[in-house]
């Protein structure tokens, strides 16, 4: 399994696992056959990777789905389990699921039939639809206690809330958004442009990922946080980001960006946050970071207001990595919310 990617570098080092030792759940794979996509294309030999922790109760009512963040894998996510983490596996059966395009589930880098640029473009909705098939067709689970996720996992959580509103009792999108803002689009378009430029030149994919690493690192934390780093601290931070990003396949990176750029949970509801909120039946805890420069918090905050949801707004110069810097507060609040009947 590849080394831990950018987001969990902060989260895990912030010790959300609280130092407790847990056996790493085994990676499992579900064969979905053909995955039909929103755009009419299909993923051939479609597979979904997942890991499970905790015991499913007799009523099959304690399952929690936890999809991966952008460029993350379920190997990264398992640091979130345990009594001191975001989710307590002594109470819940947690299903950590690899999102399409992450190099574990079906991706441009893993497909023999549709490699690299021939892999069909998918959406966040397609990720969620594949996860729904995993649960219902392979795991015999027809309802969830909760869906939760961080960053792009938060986007998937918002999509779950509107695509399958009666499937879960609770939803916890963390540092995610129901739809991208122009600020978000500028970031992802810049990274995608660096990738496309590399595709036109020979032997330049690695250089493209170096450019992407610089763009990406600039937005992970706030200018105030970066300005306070000394040269050694910054070098360590940037080297860690670049090293992790260089390990990720460029096509997988680009295809997940394309999915995020198409993400808009309000589209089926005329673009109205209020109408979208009216379609949601799950109780929600929406966690955002006020100073997030990677996923603008405003749409999620407005959605929480329209929904009348519990709304947790973090103030930290850590920016998009703020949930790691505020790990104790976030973990306590999320655990309490999940335990409420």
pLDDT at 9 over 70: no
> What is the sign, positive or negative, of the torsion defined by CA atoms of 200, 202, 207, 209?
positive
pLDDT at 141 over 90: yes
Q: Give a yes or no: residue 224 inside a domain.
A: no
How far is CA 277 from its chain centroid?
21
Asked if residue 241 lies in contact with residue 6, where contact means CB atoms within 8 angstroms, the answer is yes
> What pLDDT does residue 117 have?
94
CB atoms inside a 10 Å sphere around CB 146: 26
pLDDT at 8 over 50: no
**What Å distances lie between residue 68 and 22, 228, 340, CA to CA?**
19, 30, 24
CA-atom Rg of the chain in angstroms: 19
Mean pLDDT over 18-34 rounds to 80
Burial class (CB in 10 A: 0-12, 13-18, 19+), 6: buried
Where residue 159 sits, what CATH number does that domain have? 3.40.50.1820
> What is the sign, positive or negative, of the torsion defined by CA atoms of 148, 151, 154, 155?
negative
Asked if residue 269 lies in contact with residue 135, where contact means CB atoms within 8 angstroms, the answer is no
How far is CA 273 from its chain centroid?
21
Q: Give a yes or no: residue 235 inside a domain.
A: no
Number of folded domains that form the chain: 1
Q: Give a yes or no: residue 177 inside a domain.
A: yes
> What pLDDT does residue 78 have?
81
Q: In what order do the strands lie in the sheet with 283-289?
A: 28-36, 42-53, 93-97, 63-67, 144-150, 168-174, 283-289, 310-314
Q: Give a yes or no: residue 221 inside a domain.
A: no
Q: Give a yes or no: residue 69 inside a domain.
A: yes
> What pLDDT does residue 204 have?
81
Q: Which region among 54-63, 161-170, 173-182, 200-209 has the lowest average model confidence (pLDDT)?
A: 200-209
Q: Give a yes or no: residue 152 inside a domain.
A: yes
> What pLDDT does residue 203 have?
58
> What pLDDT does residue 24 have?
84
Question: The domain containing residue 85 runs over which residues?
Answer: 6-184+255-339
Grade residue 4 by pLDDT with cuts at 50, 70 and 90. very low
Q: Give a yes or no: residue 58 inside a domain.
A: yes
Which residues are CB-neighbours of 79 under 8 A, at least 6 positions away?
8, 11, 12, 16, 17, 85
Q: Give a yes or no: residue 232 inside a domain.
A: no
Grade residue 22 by pLDDT with cuts at 50, 70 and 90. low
């Amino acid at each position: 399994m590849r080394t831990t990617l950018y987001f969990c570098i902060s989260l895990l080092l912030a010790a959300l696992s609280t130092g407790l030792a847990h056996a790493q759940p085994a990676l499992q794979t579900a064969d979905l056959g053909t995955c039909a996509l929103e755009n009419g294309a299909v993923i051939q030999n479609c597979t979904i990777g997942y890991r499970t922790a905790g015991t499913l109760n007799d009523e099959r009512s304690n399952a929690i789905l936890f999809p991966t963040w952008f460029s993350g894998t379920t190997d990264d996510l398992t640091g979130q389990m345990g009594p001191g983490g975001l989710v307590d596996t002594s109470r819940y059966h947690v299903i950590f699921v690899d999102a399409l395009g992450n190099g574990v589930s079906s991706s441009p880098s893993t497909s023999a039939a549709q490699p690299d640029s021939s892999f069909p473009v998918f959406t966040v909705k397609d990720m969620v639809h594949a996860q729904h098939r995993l649960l219902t067709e392979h795991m015999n689970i027809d309802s969830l206690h909760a869906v939760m996720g961080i960053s792009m996992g938060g986007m998937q959580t918002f999509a779950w809330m509107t695509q399958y509103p009666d499937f879960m009792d609770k939803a916890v999108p963390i540092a995610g958004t129901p739809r991208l803002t122009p600020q978000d689009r500028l970031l992802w378009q810049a990274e995608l442009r660096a990738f496309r430029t590399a595709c036109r030149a020979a032997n330049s994919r690695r250089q493209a990922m170096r450019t992407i690493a610089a763009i990406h690192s600039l937005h992970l934390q706030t200018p105030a946080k970066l300005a306070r780093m000394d040269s050694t601290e910054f070098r360590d931070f940037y080297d860690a980001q670049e090293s992790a990003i260089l390990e990720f396949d460029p096509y997988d990176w680009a295809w997940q960006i394309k999915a995020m750029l198409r993400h808009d949970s309000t589209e089926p509801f005329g673009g109205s946050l209020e109408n979208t909120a009216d379609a949601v039946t799950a109780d929600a805890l929406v966690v955002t970071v006020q100073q997030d420069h990677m996923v603008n918090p405003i749409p999620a905050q407005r959605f929480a207001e329209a929904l009348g949801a519990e709304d947790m707004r973090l103030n930290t110069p850590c920016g998009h990595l703020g949930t790691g810097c505020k790990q104790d507060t976030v973990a306590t609040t999320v655990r309490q919310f999940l335990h409420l009947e």
